[in-house]
């Protein structure tokens, strides 16, 4: 009997130790979070036959992919998308409601990561006076460091400051972004360090950007092979200053003088090349994946957004940018295999938002897609204000499709704020291009569980948002006749890729409904750390081994 009991205990102990070792083996030494700026989900499928086996197809074929992942909030902007992916929640909780927004207490527009309490590091200008102070919840990058007693490193890298700072979190060991113009430097803020690390100084002394800008931007493959795009010369695309038409080749050595010198690299796929070069230098310089703790690299490719804004979603330029990004992804995987080790890292890839197809192009196909006339709308609201209340200035600010009411004037006129908001909501609905309106009072007292109003509610922050939210008709954007933008709660802006690959990740795909906020709790579960303190996402269990 004793012998049988001893044998049973031995077997249980052996199973427990094997399971414990298996769990430990599934934990990576490095997590790489990749956010592709303005990547619609259909860019994965549209160009699928042109991607290499080691780039996007490696994520699709050997990782776990979600085909029906969306942002579940209004306000699909760069800062908001990055914040939602890394905090596991929405603007209603994490506090980033736009790239810029109107501060109704300070009575001025503010930028999401501006912070004059800190100094620029690496530049004499003020472009380094930044911090994540307006992000009011923790990020998965914070939680990984907290869960390891502040061991391990978290580094944020992007051409855009907001795309580096917000993902890296409050406890980041570093966040770096690109200062182009005449400087050509990767910089940071004194929030993180007192001086640039040697590896950053060394990188800044190279001539990488000059190398990329020394030759014209031509297509990677013969231009006639770009059959998923519109003709090269069409009326729906913007141009660089100094160009007469939006066609290849784009003569970067000549154009850079009129387009911000080094800043022009942001508007080309070579901005992604430069970002990857710097990320490699960071992995080596910070010894990421070799620090006896789990490290995190938050990497954002921003040039896709600049190209998308200028040329739209159906241009050869955007197709070429993604074919080149595919090479960047393949290059990154090869580098990680060599520097960190096969099976020792985990990657997730998503986007911060999608984009609308160019309305003028859709109109040519007889698809409804209006341009929203912002100046005319502002004038219309003044007229409504005068007609109903005898004062044309009761709307203090209009931004991000939100109306901020002038509470001081409303009080002076002895009016009720909620009643005034109701009038503006009702009258704004009659303006051409407005599909729905809703007041802050309704959002605070009602619960929406489906449709676009649910997304509006998740994007509404009681402390920060406006008094009336206006929702344009589908396909509507506010800009000129060329290029495109984003920001709505419609599928073309919310439907983005979510891909996982590497240690602890299953091979497969799911067509189930998931949200971008589900990424953070999934990574937390994989690593065995606490969820972010504002988490509202759910674990994508089927992606985990």
Catalytic residues: 78
Q: CB under 8 Å to 13, separation ≥6 — which residues?
A: none
> How far is residue 173 from each of residues 119, 141, 153, 193, 472, measured CA to CA in Å?
16, 10, 6, 8, 41
DSSP secondary structure, 49-77, as one string? GGS-TTTHHHHHHHSEEESSEE--SS---
* CA–CA dist 55, 494 (Å, integer): 23
Contact in structure between 531 and 78 (CB atoms under 8 Å): no
Nearest residue to 170 (alpha-carbon basis) of 192, 185, 198: 192
| Residue 241: half-sphere exposure toward Cβ, Cα within 13 Å | 8
Q: How far apart are CA 419 and CA 416, in angstroms?
A: 5
What is d(CA 348, CA 34) in angstroms, rounded to the nearest whole number? Answer: 6
Please check whether residue 87 is in contact with residue 167, taking contact to mean a CB–CB distance below 8 angstroms. no
The per-residue DSSP string of 465-508 comes to S-SEEEEEPTT-B-S-SSS-----SSHHHHB--EEEEETTB-SE
Residue 428: both structure tokens together: 């704004």
d(CA 538, CA 103): 31
**How far is CA 398 from each of CA 101, 111, 402, rounded to the nearest angstrom?**
10, 16, 6
């Amino acid at each position: 009997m004793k012998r049988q009991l001893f044998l049973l205990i031995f077997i249980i102990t052996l199973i427990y130790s094997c399971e414990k070792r298996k769990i430990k083996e599934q934990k990576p030494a490095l997590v790489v979070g990749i956010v592709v700026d303005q990547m619609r989900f259909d860019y994965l499928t549209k160009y699928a036959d042109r991607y290499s086996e080691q780039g996007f197809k490696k994520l699709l074929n050997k990782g776990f992919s979600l085909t029906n992942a969306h942002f579940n909030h209004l306000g699909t902007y760069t800062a908001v998308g990055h914040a939602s992916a890394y905090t596991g929640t929405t603007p209603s909780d994490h506090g980033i409601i736009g790239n810029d927004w109107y501060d109704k207490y300070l009575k001025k527009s503010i930028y999401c990561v501006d912070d004059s309490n800190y100094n620029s590091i690496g530049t004499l200008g003020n472009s380094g006076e930044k911090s994540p102070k307006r992000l009011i919840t923790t990020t998965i990058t914070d939680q990984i460091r907290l869960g390891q007693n502040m061991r391990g490193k978290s580094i944020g890298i992007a051409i855009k400051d907001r795309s580096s700072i917000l993902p890296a979190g409050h406890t980041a060991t570093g966040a770096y972004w690109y200062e182009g113009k005449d400087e050509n430097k990767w910089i940071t803020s004194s929030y993180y360090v007192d001086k640039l690390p040697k590896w950053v100084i060394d990188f800044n002394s190279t001539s990488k950007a000059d190398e990329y800008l020394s030759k014209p931007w031509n297509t990677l493959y013969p231009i006639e092979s770009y059959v998923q795009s519109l003709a090269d010369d069409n009326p729906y695309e913007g141009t660089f200053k100094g160009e007469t038409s939006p066609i290849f080749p784009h003569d970067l050595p000549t154009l850079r003088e009129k387009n911000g010198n080094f800043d022009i690299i942001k508007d080309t796929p070579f901005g992604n090349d430069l970002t990857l070069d710097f990320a490699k230098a960071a992995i080596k310089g910070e010894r990421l994946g070799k620090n006896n703790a789990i490290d995190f690299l938050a990497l954002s490719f921003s040039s896709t957004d600049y190209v998308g804004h200028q040329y739209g979603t159906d241009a050869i330029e955007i197709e070429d940018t993604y074919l080149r990004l595919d090479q960047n992804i393949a290059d990154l995987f090869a580098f990680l295999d060599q520097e960190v080790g096969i099976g020792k890292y985990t990657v997730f890839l998503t986007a911060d938002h999608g984009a609308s197809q160019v309305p003028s192009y859709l109109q040519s196909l007889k698809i409804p897609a209006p341009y929203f006339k912002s100046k005319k709308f502002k004038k219309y609201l003044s007229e409504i204000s005068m007609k109903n209340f005898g004062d044309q200035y009761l709307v203090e600010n209009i931004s991000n499709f939100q109306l901020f009411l002038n509470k001081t004037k409303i009080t002076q006129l002895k009016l009720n704020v909620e009643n005034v908001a109701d009038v503006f909501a009702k009258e704004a609905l009659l303006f051409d291009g407005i599909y729905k309106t809703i007041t802050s009072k309704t959002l605070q007292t009602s619960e929406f569980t489906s449709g676009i109003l649910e997304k509006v509610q998740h994007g509404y922050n009681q402390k920060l948002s406006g008094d009336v939210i206006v929702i344009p008709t589908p396909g509507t954007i506010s800009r000129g006749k060329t290029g495109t933008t984003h920001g709505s709660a419609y599928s073309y802006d919310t439907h983005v890729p979510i891909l996982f690959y590497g240690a602890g990740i299953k091979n497969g795909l799911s067509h189930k409904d998931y949200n971008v906020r589900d990424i953070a709790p999934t990574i937390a579960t994989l690593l065995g750390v606490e969820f972010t303190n504002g988490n509202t996402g759910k674990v994508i269990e089927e992606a985990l081994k």
